[in-house]
Structure 1
Amino acid sequence: MKQIILMRHGKSSWDYDVSDKDRPLQEKGVKDAHLVSNTFKLHAPNLDFAFSSPANRALHTSMIFVRNLGLDFSKFRVEKSLYDFSGDGVQHFVSNLDNNLHTVALFGHNYAFTSLANTWGDQYIENVPTAGLVHITFGVDDWSRISKGTTKQMVFPKHLKK
Structure 2
Amino acid sequence: MKKIILVRHGKSSWEHDVTDKERPLKKRGITDAHLVSEAFLTKKVSLDAIYSSAANRAFSTCEIFVKVFNREVASVTVLDKLYDFEGQIVIDFMKSLDDRYNNVMIFGHNNAFTSICNIFGDVYIDNLPTSGLVAIDFDVNSWVDIKKGKTSLTIFPRDFK
Aligned-residue offset at 1:50: 0.3
Does residue 42 (structure 1) correspond to residue 42 (structure 2)? The answer is: yes
Work out the CA distance in 1 between the residues paired with 2:70 and 2:153. Answer: 20
Equivalent position amino acid for 1:44 in 2: K
TM-score normalised by length of structure 2: 0.97
Question: Which residue does the alignment assign to 1:138?
Answer: 138
Question: Which residue does the alignment assign to 1:155?
Answer: 155
Work out the CA distance in 2 between the residues paired with 1:71 and 1:146. Answer: 28
Work out the CA distance in 2 between the residues paired with 1:145 and 1:73. Answer: 30
**1:55-66 alignment runs, 5 A limit:** 55-66=55-66
Q: Supply the RMSD in Å over aligned alpha carbons.
A: 0.9
Work out the CA distance in 2 between the residues paired with 1:50 and 1:71. Answer: 10
SS of the residue corresponding to residue 71 of structure 2 reads coil
TM-score normalised by length of structure 1: 0.97
Work out the CA distance in 2 between the residues paired with 1:101 and 1:17. Answer: 39
Aligned-residue offset at 1:87: 0.3
Aligned-residue offset at 1:74: 4.8
Contact 1:47/1:71 (<8 A) preserved: no
Question: Which residue does the alignment assign to 1:101?
Answer: 101
SS of the residue corresponding to residue 140 of structure 2 reads coil
Equivalent position amino acid for 1:37 in 2: S
SS of the residue corresponding to residue 84 of structure 1 reads coil
Identity %: 50
Contact 1:50/1:104 (<8 A) preserved: yes
Work out the CA distance in 2 between the residues paired with 1:24 and 1:73. Answer: 18
Does residue 22 (structure 1) correspond to residue 22 (structure 2)? The answer is: yes
Q: Render the CA deviation track for 1:32-74: whole Å, top value 9, x for unaligned.
A: 0000000111003100010000000000000001111123445
Q: Which runs of 5+ in 2 are unaligned?
A: none
Contact 1:48/1:75 (<8 A) preserved: no
Work out the CA distance in 1 between the residues paired with 2:86 and 2:11. Answer: 19
Equivalent position amino acid for 1:81 in 2: K
Q: Which runs of 5+ in 1 are unaligned?
A: none
Work out the CA distance in 1 between the residues paired with 2:26 and 2:73. Answer: 24
Question: Which residue does the alignment assign to 1:117?
Answer: 117
Contact 1:12/1:24 (<8 A) preserved: yes
